[in-house]
């Protein structure tokens, strides 16, 4: 029985380590580089603009250039490039499953950069590249922007306060949800000594009980915050106004992204 419980602990520790990395990422966002010191509105708008330009493109070379740019920015921000690549690769299997159908249903031959190639292969490659670069852009923006600054930046961009509160609450209290799942998992393993994992017939009940427990705990947390004077309309400190230097840097970044869009063949 103790071996089974030990195995269960190992499985939960793997999940816990994944969430501990969120805390490490938050510490990384506190570093001091010129990219970290940019105004949060600048980082949000530049990241969003690059994401829109990249997703709207059907040029492989253009998407690759966006990927090179985001990797250079990550390097200048002293981020772990290997970890960023790992994050991007983790989501590729899902994109592979979504894009592999084009290989079978889009068999028309087209001329792409003076090369005869299947249209399905181009669409498949575009899906993989866009997925990887999108995750990389989000990773860099989140890694150089602390959650408090990100919330205040979204507030300055007139994003509804309720939506910002949902974002910050999910980020801050995800460990509470994980601990609830961990306790329930250990209790399940102790009551089912012949099983090392949650059986399929019990998954629905497990998820339902986890949802009820999480709703109860979240309500307790919210009541405690209300008792301490929490107000979601004024919960986030306002960032400093964007200076002329910050505006110049933002315009330069937006111009560079637009130039890549226009110049890339």
Same-domain pairing of 51 and 112: yes
Would residue 196 count as lying in a domain? yes
Q: What is the distance between the alpha carbons of residues 249 and 42, in angstroms, rounded to a whole number?
A: 8
**Are 43 and 88 in a shared domain?**
yes
pLDDT cut 70: percent of the chain above it: 82
In a domain, 246, yes or no: yes
Q: Please, which residues have CB within 8 angstroms of residue 70's CB and are 6 or more apart in sequence? A: 50, 133, 136, 137, 140
133 and 55: one domain?
Answer: yes
Average pLDDT of the chain, as a whole number = 79
Count: domains in the chain:
2
Whether 60 and 132 share a structural domain: yes
What pLDDT was estimated at residue 199? 74
Query: Between vectors from CA 225 to CA 221 and to CA 229, what angle results, nearest 5°?
Result: 170
Indicate whether 49 pLDDT > 90.
Answer: yes
State the average pLDDT over residues 38-62.
89
Cα-trace Rg, the chain: 23
Q: Of 65, 72, 107, 34, which Cα lies nearest the Cα of 264? A: 65
Assess whether pLDDT exceeds 50 at residue 3: no
Owning domain of residue 175: 1-25+160-234
Average pLDDT over residues 119-148: 87
Same domain, 14 and 125: no
Please tell me the predicted confidence (pLDDT) of residue 2. 45
pLDDT tier at 99, thresholds 50, 70, 90: confident
115 inside domain: yes
Do residues 115 and 183 both lie within one domain?
A: no
Contact 187, 209 (CB under 8 A): no
Assigned token pair, 30: 């506190």
- Report pLDDT digits (tens) over 149-208: 888 888 888 888 778 877 777 776 776 777 777 778 777 777 776 766 777 777 788 888
The three-class DSSP label of residue 221 is helix
Residue at 151 is within a domain: no
Within-domain flag for 225: yes
Of 81, 239, 221, 66, the closest CA to residue 146 belongs to 239
pLDDT at 233 over 80: no
pTM check: above 0.85: no
């Amino acid at each position: 029985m103790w071996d089974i419980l030990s195995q269960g602990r190992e499985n939960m520790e793997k999940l816990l380590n994944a969430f501990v990395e969120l805390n490490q990422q938050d510490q990384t966002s506190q570093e001091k580089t010129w990219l970290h010191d940019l105004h949060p509105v600048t980082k949000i708008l530049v990241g969003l603009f690059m994401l829109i330009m990249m997703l709207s493109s059907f040029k492989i070379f253009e998407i690759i250039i966006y990927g090179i740019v985001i990797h250079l920015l990550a390097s200048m921000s002293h981020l772990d490039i290997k970890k960023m690549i790992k994050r991007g690769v983790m989501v590729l299997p899902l994109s592979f499953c979504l894009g592999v159908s084009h290989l079978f249903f889009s068999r028309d031959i087209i001329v792409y950069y003076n090369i005869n190639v299947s249209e399905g292969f181009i669409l498949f490659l575009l899906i993989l590249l866009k997925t990887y670069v999108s995750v990389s852009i989000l990773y860099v923006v989140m890694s150089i922007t602390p959650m408090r600054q990100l919330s205040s930046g979204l507030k300055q961009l007139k994003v509804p306060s309720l939506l910002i509160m949902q974002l910050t609450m999910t980020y801050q209290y995800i460990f509470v949800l994980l601990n609830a799942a961990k306790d329930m998992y250990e209790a399940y393993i102790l009551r089912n000594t012949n099983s090392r994992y949650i059986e399929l017939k019990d998954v629905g009940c497990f998820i339902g009980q986890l949802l009820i427990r999480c709703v109860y705990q979240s309500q307790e947390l919210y009541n405690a915050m209300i008792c301490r004077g929490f107000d979601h309309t004024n919960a986030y400190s306002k960032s400093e106004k964007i200076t002329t230097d910050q505006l110049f840097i933002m315009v330069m970044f937006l111009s560079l992204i637009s130039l890549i869009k226009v110049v890339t063949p």
